[in-house]
Amino acid sequence: MVRRRPPGPVTRRDDGTFTINLNDDERSAFVKFFTEFEDLLNGNTRDESLRRLFPVAYHDDHENDGEFQRLMHDDLVASKQASLNVSRRIMLASPDDIISEADVLQLMTTLNGLRLVLGTMLDVGEDDGDIDDDDPLAGQRHLYEYIGWLLEWVVAGLHEGLDPEGKS
């Protein structure tokens, strides 16, 4: 027996397509965040806030890591740009538009990237506790938590309707 979650911000339809249940203000905010993320990617991609998006491949070999970064950097940026384009289209879509599993995977990639950058900027760690609303960065910290919550729904939506062996 497949147990279904109550409807949330990301749900799989019976036909395998998806619905994104965000209101217009949330969608507009994400379009803005995606544009800011894109601007950051198109700027200095050596920016410290992007370090988790372009991780070190060879920790003990700076020469090989430099070569890897040189060879892969543009492809990684292009991949993130493609995900951003799909994610923006999803947020601008009407509720009746068909959103495929591939689209939702791209949205997941963008949300994860956005969360990594925001977490780096906020210096989020595993030991961080509750958010202090007097903290000048409380809004950004709440956004970080919200994106994490939305990612949980994306993952749950992707698994919804799968049999125990992971097949549709």
Query: Is the pLDDT score of 72 beyond 70?
Result: yes
C-alpha span between 136 and 141 (Å, rounded): 10
C-alpha span between 34 and 94 (Å, rounded): 18
List, in order, residues 6 or more apart from 138 with CB less than 8 Å away: 131, 132
Give the pLDDT confidence of 2-47 residue by residue, as tens digits: 555 567 899 899 899 999 999 999 999 999 999 999 999 988 767 8
- Give 20's strand partners: 10
**For 104-114, what is the mean pLDDT?**
97
Contact 159, 10 (CB under 8 A): no
Q: Where are the domains of the chain?
A: 10-159
Quote the pTM value. 0.85
Q: Mean pLDDT score of the chain, rounded to an integer?
A: 86
**pLDDT band at 164; cut points 50, 70, 90:** very low
- Give 99's strand partners: 18
